[in-house]
Amino acid sequence: MKLRNTAAAAAVVLALAATATACGKSGSPDDKGDKSSDGASAPSGLTYKVNTSADVKDSSVFAKVKGKTITIGTKADQPGLGYENPGTKKRSGFDVEIARMIAADLGFDEGHIKFVTVPSEARETQIASGGVDLYVGTYTINDERKKQVGFGGPYYIAGQDLLVKADSSIKGPDDLKGKKVCSATGSTPLKRIKEEKYGVAEAKAQQGYQLCVQDLVNGSIDAVTTDDSILKGYAAENKGALKVVGNPFSKEPYGVGLKKDDAALREAVNKALEAHVKNGDWKKAYDATLGKSGAAAPNPPAVERY
C-alpha cells in the first residue's frame, strides 16, 4: 500500500496499534512462558539524567516542543527492540532506551515523552508531517530515505536474516527459490527479498513482523525475513519451534529519524548518542534488552555526520 497523505498514514498507525494490542500477547512479563523472552520484554529500570537546561538553537522541531512533550515514534511488536506490553502498556527494548537517552539529553523526563506506534511503511510520512518529532524503531539509514527524512546515528548495525521453523532446511537466502517469504510493508528487507536473484515464489507484505511470525507458525509461509536483531526476539518467544538461520545478507545501520532539514536537531541527537556510548549507558541498555538473547554487546558504531 502506498500512503498518499497524512490521514492515510495516521489510519495505518492506529490500525497497527490495534493489531499490536490484539496479537502482542506472547513474551509479555505477564506470560507464564519462556523467561528469557520475559527478560528482553521487561522495562529495563534504567534511568538517564535529564538535562534541565537543554537548548537546541536553530532547531525548528525543538522550538516547537521545548518545555512541552516530545513525541517519539517506535515499534510495539518487536520484543527486545520496541515492544509495548498489551496489559501494562509499558514500553521496553533497546530502541525505547535509545529514545529515552536522547529525550533526557534534550530536557524531557519520563512524563514528557509520548511514545506512539508507527509501522515501517508510515515512518517517512509521520516524520515529514510532524506527527512524530523523532523516530527510533529499527530504522535503516539509506540514501533513498534521506531524500525524505534526516538521520542521527547510526546507533546499532543489524543484518537481514531469516526466521524459519526449527526443522526447516533453509540455511540462507540461496535456499529461498520457490519459497513463500513474509516481511513488512515499507521495509528494506521486503524490497531486497523481491530481487529476482532470490527467486521467491511469494513475498508477502504484512503491517508488522509479528503478523509474519503468525503466518510462519501456522504454516502459510516458509520464512520471515528482516533484521537479525528483530528475529532473535521472536525466536526467543518461540524457543524450540522457530530458529534464526544466522546467515545475515545485508547491513542495516539503525538511525534516529528526524525532519530532513533540521540539521541542529540531527547534531544534538548525534551528540547525545556519543555521550551515552561514552558514559556506558549504551552498553547497559543493550545488556538489559537485546543482550538478554545471549549475544554479547557489539562495539557501538561511530555516528555519521553528513
Q: What is the contact surface with ligand GLU in residues (CB under 6 A)?
A: 120, 137-140, 184, 187-189, 226-227, 252
Q: Which residue is nearest to ligand GLU (CB)?
A: 187
Nearest approach in angstroms of CB 279 to ligand GLU is 26
Nearest approach in angstroms of CB 275 to ligand GLU is 24
Q: Which is nearer to ligand GLU, 158 or 164 (CB)?
A: 158
Instruction: Collapse the DSSP code of 187 into the 3-class scheme (helix H, G, I; strand E, B; otherwise coil) and give the result.
Output: coil
Nearest approach in angstroms of CB 225 to ligand GLU is 9
Contact 84, 30 (CB under 8 A): no
On the 0-12 / 13-18 / 19+ scale of CB atoms within 10 A, 86 is middle
Distance, CA of 116 to CA of 46 (rounded, Å): 20
CA–CA distances in Å: residue 269 to residues 131, 258, 302 = 18, 9, 13
Q: Which helix (H) or strand (E) holds 30?
A: none
Nearest approach in angstroms of CB 12 to ligand GLU is 13
DSSP states of 64-81:
HHTTS-EEEEE-SEETTT
Nearest approach in angstroms of CB 91 to ligand GLU is 16
Q: Which is nearer to ligand GLU, 33 or 253 (CB)?
A: 253
Nearest approach in angstroms of CB 206 to ligand GLU is 11
Q: Which is nearer to ligand GLU, 56 or 221 (CB)?
A: 221
Nearest approach in angstroms of CB 119 to ligand GLU is 8
CA–CA distances in Å: residue 78 to residues 23, 230, 266, 302 = 12, 6, 25, 24
Q: Which is nearer to ligand GLU, 87 or 298 (CB)?
A: 298
Cell for 86?
A: 498489551
Instruction: Tell me, rounded to whole angstroms, the distance of Cα 228 from its chain centroid.
Output: 12
Q: Which is nearer to ligand GLU, 103 or 149 (CB)?
A: 149
On the 0-12 / 13-18 / 19+ scale of CB atoms within 10 A, 267 is middle
Q: Which is nearer to ligand GLU, 85 or 226 (CB)?
A: 226
Instruction: Tell me, rounded to whole angstroms, the distance of Cα 188 from its chain centroid.
Output: 13
Q: Which is nearer to ligand GLU, 48 or 156 (CB)?
A: 156
